[in-house]
Amino acid sequence: MREITRTRLAAQAKSRRATPEELREAKERLKAIETELTQLQLLPETKNGEEREKRYDRVLRLRDMRDEFESRFPVRGPKQPNSLMLALVMTVASFLTCAFCGGSLFFAYNALTQKPDPTATGDAFWVDMEAQNYSDIRTNLMSATLRVGTDPSQFSLIAGQADKDYGVVTSYSLTQESGDLTQNAALIYHVTRTKQKKPTTYYTTIKLSIVSGAWVVDDLGAAISPTSAGVAPVSTATPNSTPSGSTTPTGRRETPGWAA
């Protein structure tokens, strides 16, 4: 204590640049304070510590004061939720969390392990045939090898000519599958083309293979050339009648009829 006081007074004196007279007065004042401190009578508690009985009385007195204060000013704690409702909410939340995690894992597993289906590519092919969307067939469904060997305008021209000769594709149905169906597949379809309300049916096989995880068409079969399936073009001949009463070169009357 004395050392701290001496140091503090010296620091204060130096900080304000005390004069030599003030430093001498401070030194004398410091001695007077030290003399005064030596003459102070300390309490027994200060020297030896508080007695156990007095300390216990003080603790009891503080407890009484605290109880009295709390009785006058009760503590308003936060409202506790209903334990049953809280348990129900936690149960439902846990169930939904588990269901979400399980569903996510299930769909992720299916997405990783599901193999593409060749019939889906086959259906897309015939849907484009019905819609006469030949550019999509060549761009998205045909294999690179088949696409390189097929001129875009020539492909559309051949497919369009088949529509003129045999009618457009109006229906199709898958009748047989062959191949390992994992790397290659051959799908046989029963196809119906209709021209002037005259249906023409035939069977054709399209061959597919897996490229970069997707099925593509390697062989069109008779899809755009029904002639290779043994189908004859639909006749466009129209009835032609001879006017009644006309005279043939031999001078005979000729009855109306169909032109040969």
**What secondary structure does DSSP assign to 211-229, as a single string?**
ETTEEEEEE-TTSS-GGGG
Q: Could you report the per-residue pLDDT of 45-96, keeping only the tens digit for each?
A: 666 777 788 888 888 999 999 999 888 888 776 666 677 888 888 899 999 9
| Least confident span in 37-51, 198-212, 234-248 | 234-248
Distances 58 to 9, 53, 54, 101 between C-alpha atoms, Å: 38, 9, 6, 60
Q: Which residues contact 247 (CB under 8 A, 6 or more apart)?
A: 253, 254
Q: For the chain, where are the E strands, in sequence order?
A: 168-178, 184-195, 198-211, 214-219
The whole-number average pLDDT for the span 104-129 is: 80
What pLDDT band is residue 131 in, cutting at 50, 70 and 90? very high
What residues pair up with 253 in beta bridges, in sequence order?
247
Look at 115 and 20; give whichever has higher pLDDT. 20
Structure tokens at 194: 């209709």
148 pLDDT exceeds 90?
no
Q: Which residues contact 22 (CB under 8 A, 6 or more apart)?
A: 13
Q: What percent of the chain has pLDDT over 90?
A: 23
Could you tell me if 126 and 189 are in contact, meaning their C-beta atoms sit under 8 angstroms apart?
yes
Measured CA to CA, the distance from residue 217 to residue 146 in angstroms comes to: 8
Q: Could you report the per-residue pLDDT of 154-188, keeping only the tens digit for each?
A: 888 888 999 999 999 999 999 999 988 888 999 99
209 pLDDT exceeds 70?
yes
| DSSP H or E stretch at residue 154 | helix 152-166
Look at 228 and 150; give whichever has higher pLDDT. 228
Domains of the chain: 2-39 (no CATH), 118-228 (3.10.450.100)
